[in-house]
């Protein structure tokens, strides 16, 4: 176990106004023989943690990918599971996702209950996370698999009230997700309004392909930005997104 929990690192960064970068790696898309090349594109001085998970992952693929990453990298590995079968004790922590933007009980409580026997056999740090899907302009795999509709970014009131409900329920993070391959990231105005209403860390993911988009999320109050599809499609783009201006 890490001396300082991953959640404490995120919370401390928020208090100190340090911005965090997470890279999302999907076991369904990243072949094991490409992991070393992928990790070489990630500078541990600029990236704070690796998230591993996907909406549709074959049984055992997450475990294999996490094992390979831990062989080659010292960065913390946080599970971002699409379902309970993606739990592996080889990681450092798991975002215990509550898909509160939807009303499908499978992702509000059933998957969480199924995860308990696996979690009980590990030393994973469990981070309760309010997970909110925001429409990013394309149908995403998470919406399709979870059979839930994303909330329109124009419906700011519903998103804010949903996030606040997640905070009141005791979630330690709010994860605003535009979805894999989103055409548009989470609007800065939405992040800013949410930041004014809650104290817990805010994570923004989906659709971030440029330094400007990343900076907008940070400037409006996001504590961590997660980059997935853009990096997956072209690992060299990470340098362009960070633009040597990422400040810890």
Give which of 129, 246, 135 is closest to 190, Cα–Cα: 135
**What is the pLDDT of the chain when averaged over all its residues?**
94
The total number of structural domains in the chain stands at 1
Q: Would the pLDDT of 245 be above 70?
A: no
Q: Would the pLDDT of 247 be above 70?
A: no
pLDDT band at 45 (very low <50, low <70, confident <90, very high): confident
Q: Quick check: is 248 in a domain?
A: no
pLDDT band at 69 (very low <50, low <70, confident <90, very high): very high
Q: Would the pLDDT of 93 be above 70?
A: yes
Q: Would the pLDDT of 1 be above 70?
A: no
Cβ atoms of 61 and 94 within 8 Å: the answer is: no
Q: Quick check: is 83 in a domain?
A: yes
- Domain span including residue 184: 6-241
Q: Would the pLDDT of 2 be above 50?
A: no
Cα(69)–Cα(92) distance, rounded to whole angstroms? Answer: 12
Average pLDDT, stretch 192-215?
A: 97
pLDDT of residue 213: 96
pLDDT of residue 3: 66
Q: Quick check: is 178 in a domain?
A: yes
Instruction: Tell me the C-alpha to C-alpha distance, in Å, between residue 168 and each of 71, 123, 133, 199.
Output: 39, 26, 18, 11
Q: Quick check: is 152 in a domain?
A: yes
Q: Would the pLDDT of 246 be above 70?
A: no
Using a pLDDT cut of 90, give the percent of the chain over it. Answer: 90
Whole-model pTM?
Answer: 0.95
pLDDT of residue 4: 83
Q: Would the pLDDT of 194 be above 90?
A: yes
pLDDT of residue 248: 46
- Report the CATH number that the domain containing residue 231 is assigned in CATH: 3.20.20.390
User: Is pLDDT larger for residue 73 or for residue 4?
Assistant: 73
The number of CA neighbours under 13 Å toward the Cβ of 229 is 16
Cα(184)–Cα(135) distance, rounded to whole angstroms? Answer: 8
Q: Quick check: is 65 in a domain?
A: yes
pLDDT tens track for 159-178: 999 999 999 999 999 999 99
Q: Quick check: is 230 in a domain?
A: yes
pLDDT of residue 180: 87
Q: Quick check: is 1 in a domain?
A: no
pLDDT tens track for 207-228: 999 999 999 999 999 999 999 9
Q: Quick check: is 246 in a domain?
A: no
69-105 as b/e, with b when 16 or more CB fall inside 10 Å?
beeebebbbbbbbbbbbbbbebbbbbbbbbbbbbeee
């Amino acid at each position: 176990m890490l001396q300082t929990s991953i959640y404490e690192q995120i919370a401390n960064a928020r208090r100190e106004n340090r911005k965090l970068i997470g890279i999302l790696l999907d076991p369904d898309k990243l072949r094991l023989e490409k992991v070393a090349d992928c990790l070489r594109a990630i500078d541990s001085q600029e990236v704070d943690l690796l998230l591993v998970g996907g909406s549709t992952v074959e049984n055992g693929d997450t475990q294999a990918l996490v094992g390979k990453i831990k062989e080659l990298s010292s960065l913390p590995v946080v599970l971002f599971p699409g379902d309970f079968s993606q739990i592996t004790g080889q990681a450092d922590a798991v975002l215990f996702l509550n898909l509160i933007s939807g009303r499908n009980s499978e992702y509000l409580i059933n998957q969480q209950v199924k995860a308990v026997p696996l979690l009980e056999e590990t030393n994973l740090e469990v981070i309760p996370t309010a997970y909110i899907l925001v429409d990013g302009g394309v149908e995403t795999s998470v919406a399709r698999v979870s059979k839930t509709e994303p909330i329109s970014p124009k419906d700011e009131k519903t998103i804010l009230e949903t996030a606040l409900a997640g905070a009141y329920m005791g979630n330690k993070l709010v994860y605003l997700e535009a979805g894999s391959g989103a055409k548009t990231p989470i609007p800065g105005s939405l992040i800013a309004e949410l930041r004014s209403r809650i104290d817990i860390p805010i994570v923004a993911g989906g659709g971030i392909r440029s330094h400007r988009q990343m900076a907008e999320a940070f400037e409006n109050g996001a504590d961590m930005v997660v980059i997935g599809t853009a990096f997956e499609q072209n690992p060299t783009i990470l340098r362009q997104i960070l633009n040597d201006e990422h400040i810890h």
